[in-house]
Structure 1
C-alpha cells in the first residue's frame, strides 16, 4: 500500500484532472475531514460565496474513483444551478445505501437547502477553522447592520476577542460545545479571574454563540449558559473605584499642562463632563456648543446634546470655552481611540502621576473619566439636580447613570442631602407661618 501522503496527493491530482476536463481550472479542491472527503469551493469559483461540502465517501486510498466521480457530479450540477448540498443529499453512500437527510452536505453542518443550519444536536462540532471565520464574519455583519455596535467598536474590542476564538477552534483537539470553548478561553487569563478583559472575552464569545444558535448555524450544544460567572471568575483583590476628580485638582492640572491644545481638551472634559471620545464630535450649532457623538449601547443610542456647564462651576467661567472653540485647535486623535490618546497624554504628566498615587493611597483610582465623574458628582451633591436631568446633560440613560454614579453615595453624601432637605422644609414651614 502506498504511503498516506502519496495516495492523498493522487486523489487530489485525479480530481483536479477530471475537473479540468470539464472546464474547471481552479477553485475546487478535496481534502480529508475526519475520515470523509470534503469538497472546498473557493468564492471565486462558487458564484461569490465560499462553500464546503462533506461527501458521503470515506477518505481512503481505494475510494479515489468514487471521490472523483462525486466531485465531477457536483460540478456538473452546480453549472446547471443546483446547489452542492442538494446534489450530495441524493448521493448513495460507499456501501450503496442512501444517506439520511442532512447527514452529509455542508461542512458547516447544514440541512439540505438551508446553508449554515445545524443538522441535529451536537453536529455543529464538525466546524473547521475556516467555517468559524465565516461564522464570525456573519456575526460582525449582523452586529453592524443591526446598529448594535459601530465598525470602530468591532475593530477596537470584538476583533481581538474573536481572534482568540479562532485560535482555540484551530487547536489539534478543538472544543466540541459551548462549555468547552468558554473554559478554554478562560484559561488564557487564568491568572486574572474577574478581570475586565477576561469578562469581555467571555461575554462577546457567548453573544456570538447565542446568535449562531438562534440563527440555526450551530447546534444546541453550542448554546452558552445564561450565567457566565464561572467562566469570568471572581477577582481575588478588591477593585479600586474610579473616582470623581476634585475641583482643586482640576485647576492644578490645567495650570500644569504645557500644550495649549491638550489643556483646552482637558478643560472641555472637566467643564462639560465629556467622554474623551466626544472631543472629536463637538460643533457650534445655533450659537451653542453641541456634542454630536452617538454612543451605541445595550440600552440604545445616545442623542446629540447641548453642552451645559454646571451652575456651581464658576471657576470655569474664565476659560471661555464656547467662545474659543471655533478657533482653538484640539490635539489630533484617531476616531474611536480618544480614550487611549487622552490617557496616554495624561500618564506622561508628572502632576497626574502624583495625583494617581494620592488617590490609590485612599483606595480610589484616577482615570480620564474622572473628569466626567466629577461633573456628575457636583451636579448631584452641590447643584441638587435630579438624576434624570443630569443623565440627559451627560448623554446617557437614567439606568446607566444610576448604575455608574450611585457608588459614590456614601454616608457623607446622604447626611448632606438630608441636611439640605431639612433646611428647605424648615424654610418652607417658616414661610407658611409668616403668611398665616
Structure 2
C-alpha cells in the first residue's frame, strides 16, 4: 500500500484544527475521492443524516488552504441555518466567481487598447469583430466616472461577471446577438434555474449590452429584451426569507451577551435599525447621533443621516444610548467586515443558536440583519410611519425599502392598518 503523502496528512489535520477553533470537535472530515476533495459529515454533527459531499477543489497539495477554508465556510453557513447542499452550491459559486476574477485580472494585465475604428466598424458591419475587452473597459470607466459604483464594487461584483462575458463571446458557439449571449450564459447554470448567481450574471450582462447599444458601440441586435425572466429561470426551491426579530427576543439576547462591547453594539443595531457596517461610522454631532456611512448602489449614494429611536420603543429609550455613546465602547471590527465579525460572535452564543432554531421551526430565518428588519417592521406596524419616512430614516431609497420590506406585509398587517384607518376616519359621536 503506497505511503500517504505528507501534505495529505497536513491537509486533514489543518481542517480538523480549523473546525476545532469553531467548537467542532468531531463529525466533519475530508478525504480524497477520485482526485476531488470530499466532505464527510456524520448524522449527529450534521442535519440528522450522514452526508458525503464533493467540494469544488481538486485533492492536490497546492489546494490545502483552499480546502480548509472551504470546509470552514460550509460549517459556518450550516450553523447560520443554510442547508448543507445549498452551502456547498454557494461555495462552488464563490469559487467560480473567484476563478473568473483571477482570469479577468490576468486579461487586464495584458496590453490591449480599444480601437475606435474597429468599434465604429462594428456598429455598421455586423460581421466585423467586436473589441469586447475594450468595450468592457469603456463600460468600467463609465460606471466609475458617473459615480454609480466604487472601484471596490467593480472588482468584487462586476469584474468576475465581465470575465464570464469575455469567455462566452469567444465561443463556441459563435455569438451573434444579445439573445444568443444571454442563452449561452444561462446554459452554464442550466440545472439551477433562478439561482442568485445565474440571475446576477444575466442582469449584469444585459446592463452592459443595454449601455453599449445606447452609446452606439453595438448595433440593434445586441439590445437585450426588456424581460429577462426566461434567461434567469424560475427556482424550484422555496427560499427562506430572513425575519424581523421580535422585541422580547431582542431584550433576551441583550441579557445573554457577556461582553459589554458587543452588547452595546447589538443595542445600537436594534434601536436604530443600523447595518452592521454602520457601527464603525457613528458620530455625535450637536447632541444627535449621526451615521456617516455612504453606501454606493445602483440607485445612488446614501447620505449621512441622523439616527432616530422609534416612538414605540420605550425599551430603547431606557438604554440611554445617545447619552452614553462613545466609539471606544464598541468592539474592534475590521473595516468592510462588520457584518462578518458580528455574525461570528453571535454564532458562539448559545442563546442566539437556540433562538435561531426556534425561528427555523416556524419556517423563518433569524440573522444579524433581522435587527434592521425589526426596526422597519415596528416603524410600519406600530408607528404607522409611511415608507418614504422610514426609508429616509434607514438610509436607503424608497424602491429598495419597498422591495426588501413589503414581503412581511401579510394579511394580519393589512387588516390592522385598515382597522386603524377606519378608527381615524370614523366621526366621533
Partner of 1:281: 281
The separation in 2 between residues aligned to 1:210 and 1:326, in whole angstroms, is 45
Structure 1 residue 398 displacement after superposition? 3.0
Structure 1 residue 223 displacement after superposition? 1.8
Partner of 1:88: none
Task: Structure 2: give runs of 5+ residues left out of the alignment.
Answer: 1-107
1:380 aligns with 2:380: yes
The separation in 1 between residues aligned to 2:384 and 2:179, in whole angstroms, is 48
Aligned length in residues:
321
Mapping 1:217-228, distance limit 5 Å? 217-228=217-228
Give the SS at the match of 1:181: helix
Partner of 1:429: 428
Counterpart contact for 1:244–1:373, Cα < 8 Å: yes
1:118 aligns with 2:123: yes
Give the SS at the match of 1:245: coil
Partner of 2:333: 332
Partner of 1:97: none
Distance verdict in 2 for CA 1:334–1:134, change over 3 Å: farther
Distance verdict in 2 for CA 1:258–1:195, change over 3 Å: farther
The separation in 2 between residues aligned to 1:307 and 1:52, in whole angstroms, is 47
Partner of 2:239: 239
Give the SS at the match of 1:311: coil
**Could you report, residue by residue, the CA deviation over 1:309-353 in whole angstroms, capped at 9, with x for unpaired residues?**
112212223433222234313332233x44444444444444333
Structure 1 residue 162 displacement after superposition? 1.9
**Could you report, residue by residue, the CA deviation over 1:383-404 in whole angstroms, capped at 9, with x for unpaired residues?**
2223332222112233332333
Mapping 1:391-430, distance limit 5 Å? 391-424=391-424, 429-430=428-429
Distance verdict in 2 for CA 1:133–1:350, change over 3 Å: farther
Partner of 2:75: none
Give the SS at the match of 2:123: coil
Structure 1 residue 205 displacement after superposition? 1.0
Counterpart contact for 1:122–1:177, Cα < 8 Å: no
Structure 1 residue 160 displacement after superposition? 2.4
Q: TM-score, normalised by structure 1?
A: 0.66
Structure 1 residue 146 displacement after superposition? 0.8
Distance verdict in 2 for CA 1:52–1:227, change over 3 Å: closer
1:163 aligns with 2:163: yes
Distance verdict in 2 for CA 1:422–1:223, change over 3 Å: closer
Give the SS at the match of 1:238: coil
Partner of 1:321: 321
Deviates more, 1:138-147 or 1:315-324: 315-324
The separation in 1 between residues aligned to 2:174 and 2:339, in whole angstroms, is 36
Structure 1 residue 204 displacement after superposition? 0.8
Structure 1 residue 194 displacement after superposition? 1.2
The separation in 1 between residues aligned to 2:409 and 2:172, in whole angstroms, is 52
Deviates more, 1:371-380 or 1:401-410: 401-410
Task: Structure 1: give runs of 5+ residues left out of the alignment.
Answer: 1-42, 54-84, 86-104, 112-116, 431-436
The separation in 2 between residues aligned to 1:384 and 1:211, in whole angstroms, is 40
**Could you report, residue by residue, the CA deviation over 1:225-262 in whole angstroms, capped at 9, with x for unpaired residues?**
11111111001122222221111221222233344433
Deviates more, 1:396-405 or 1:180-189: 396-405
Distance verdict in 2 for CA 1:228–1:348, change over 3 Å: farther
Give the SS at the match of 1:162: helix
1:357 aligns with 2:357: yes
Partner of 1:187: 187
Distance verdict in 2 for CA 1:52–1:409, change over 3 Å: closer
Mapping 1:174-213, distance limit 5 Å? 174-213=174-213
The separation in 1 between residues aligned to 2:133 and 2:223, in whole angstroms, is 19
Distance verdict in 2 for CA 1:344–1:178, change over 3 Å: farther
Counterpart contact for 1:122–1:221, Cα < 8 Å: no
Counterpart contact for 1:272–1:309, Cα < 8 Å: yes
Distance verdict in 2 for CA 1:190–1:381, change over 3 Å: same
The separation in 1 between residues aligned to 2:419 and 2:298, in whole angstroms, is 37
Structure 1 residue 285 displacement after superposition? 1.4
Distance verdict in 2 for CA 1:345–1:196, change over 3 Å: farther
Q: TM-score, normalised by structure 2?
A: 0.67
Structure 1 residue 425 displacement after superposition? 5.2
The separation in 2 between residues aligned to 1:160 and 1:353, in whole angstroms, is 34
